[in-house]
Amino acid sequence: MSYITVGKENSGTIDLYYEDHGKGRPVVLIHGWPLSSKSWEKQVPALVDAGYRVVTYDRRGFGNSGKPTFGYDYDTLAEDLHRLMTELDLRDATLVGFSMGGGEVARYLGTHGSDRVERAVFISAVPPFLLKTSDNPEGVDGSVFDGVMESIIADRLAFLSGFFLDFYNVDVFGGDLVSDEVVRFSWNVAAAASPRGTLDCVSAWLTDFRNDLASIDVPVQVIHGDADRIVPFPASGKRTHEMLKESRLMVVEGGPHGITWTHAERVNRELLDFLGQRVQAAQTLAGTPV
């Protein structure tokens, strides 16, 4: 198992677990809450088979990574990503952030720039700013997030059971595009996460990424389901696309939050097409027929 050390808490180190597969231009996959890098099961083989180097890692507090009692804000999480990028010396990379992982992508680019990054993908992602405020009327009312935190404190494991029903829109896709076993597996992964990290990450969702998005200078792909019950498309993906001049949008009609599983074929096809645009452009510049 491969780890990088990103910090220390008392006598122990804070280590991030990562996997590094394939050869070619790097694609870094950043998972959502409250899952782990295992949630990219449908994407990793497709990307490796298409000739890409695929790096996945577990956010601190989740999966096989260390579970400290602090560091669940986006400044720290983006710094963790930066440590991974520099430790592995990744260049010309594509950052792909799902849900909460989209926040790492935005804050990383807003803080560290695009020296190592060629393009970015936001899938069911939280930017630009989820919280409803006077200058952000399209956001979600703060009472929703208060309710999530109260439910986690009261009974985290029971909360997760209901959460994943909405994550995959099981009432619509259960038994067809998502099995009971997949929902159970998701629950098992989430149940093993840090209780403290699971709770503290909810506050991080309220981060304002508008300035981060404004600084992005690489091509961006936005992929989002219009029936997302966790991160509503009108408050997130739609606005991210509108804010970024160099972006393209794919809306999965009827798609839930967890489209990387329920609509994996469509997501993978769109992702590979977006990644392939760079190859086609390079061939054209070199005078090679496409």
Of 36, 80, 228, 236, which one is the catalytic site residue?
Answer: 228
Q: Answer yes or no: 2 catalytic.
A: no
Q: Answer yes or no: 212 catalytic.
A: no
Q: Answer yes or no: 257 catalytic.
A: yes
Of 31, 224, 241, 257, which one is the catalytic site residue?
Answer: 257
Q: What is the 3-state secondary structure (H, E, C) of the chain?
A: CEEEEEEEECCEEEEEEEEEECCCCEEEEECCCCCCHHHHCCCHHHHHHCCCEEEEECCCCCCCCCCCCCCCCHHHHHHHHHHHHHHCCCCCEEEEEECCHHHHHHHHHHHHCCCCEEEEEEECCCCCCCECECCECCCECHHHHHHHHHHHHHHHHHHHHHHHHHHCCHHHHECCCECHHHHHHHHHHHHCCCHHHHHHHHHHCCCCCHHHHHCCCCCEEEEEECCCCCCCHHHCHHHHHHHCCCEEEEEECCCCCCHHHHCHHHHHHHHHHHHHHHHHHHHHHCCCCC
Active site residues: 99, 228, 257
